[in-house]
Structure 1
């Protein structure tokens, strides 16, 4: 496990998992939200986002966390990944976590609500198409996530 992509619904704990996994493995963590969103929360154009990701993914070791929903260009980082973690937590858990952390825009809440029905199938297709050789872990509960972290420390 040297190049890890973490995907999932907003509020699932992607960044928290990335930091914990980085600490456990020594891999550098790249929080994609910090590279993608402009100062007024405007999304980066897709063509530029693909270039930026290509620059971030060129190194041999990293953990990239982020699921940018309809704005994302997944194939760039998925093609380099050897491990993909998909956090598939319930809407209610993610909504609660999102409420606790900050105020979100309406489009975030629409994405959060429709993630399992709309975004998850797109993610699974992208993983199959662009990360076929990567190991996929679908984590559905905090307990499963904790177990994965424990295993990663070994």
Structure 2
């Protein structure tokens, strides 16, 4: 199994709405790893995604990576060096922009209690997020691909929905 080669501290990155939270939760259940959702560390609960002060977020992040085992999903490049220094494996998701947009709309309109949700927050469609997915993500994809190529950790890149589904099946991960 591929997951065995990634060790006990797995870093999952990728564009917004590429499936990082769902995958991290599934890996956590299957491998007994604590899933850590960086959006939950970055934002205050019971708010409409209000960010914490940067130094508070970094302290929470750095405390989380000290653990012996985890699967951490999210990007937050300002604290990526210390995360990668502790990680034993890396997964890059690279869903197409159209897929990410559809997932965003579905999650905003229909899904409740999904992995990675912010406690007390309500998902809604926001133009800023649509713009982020449709425009900003292009540059992020390039940076993530370059990062993936440079990382010397055991790693896997799942570039399509089909590859992600095949990974779920081959690793016997439930949703």
- Using structure 2 for the length normalisation, give the TM-score: 0.73
Q: Which segment drifts farther, 78-87 or 106-115?
A: 106-115
The answer as to 2:156 corresponding to 1:137 is yes
Q: Which residue number in structure 2 is paired with residue 110 of structure 1?
A: 131
1:1-154 equivalent positions in 2, closer than 5 A: 1-38=7-44, 39-68=47-76, 72-102=78-108, 103-126=124-147, 132-153=151-172
| Larger Rg belongs to | 2
Question: Which digits, 9 at most, give the CA deviation of each residue in 1:15-41, with x for residues without a partner?
Answer: 111111112211111112111112232
Aligned residues between the structures: 150
Gaps of 5+ in 2: 1-6, 109-123
Q: Pairwise CA RMSD of aligned residues? A: 2.4
Question: Which digits, 9 at most, give the CA deviation of each residue in 1:49-90, with x for residues without a partner?
Answer: 22211100001110011235xx75322312211111111011
Report the Cα offset of residue 47 of structure 1: 3.1
Distance in 2, matches of 1:49 and 1:97, equals 26
User: Is the partner of 1:9 in helix, strand or coil?
Assistant: coil
Gaps of 5+ in 1: none
Report the Cα offset of residue 45 of structure 1: 3.4
**Counterpart contact for 2:92–2:148, Cα < 8 Å:** no
User: Is the partner of 2:90 in helix, strand or coil?
Assistant: strand
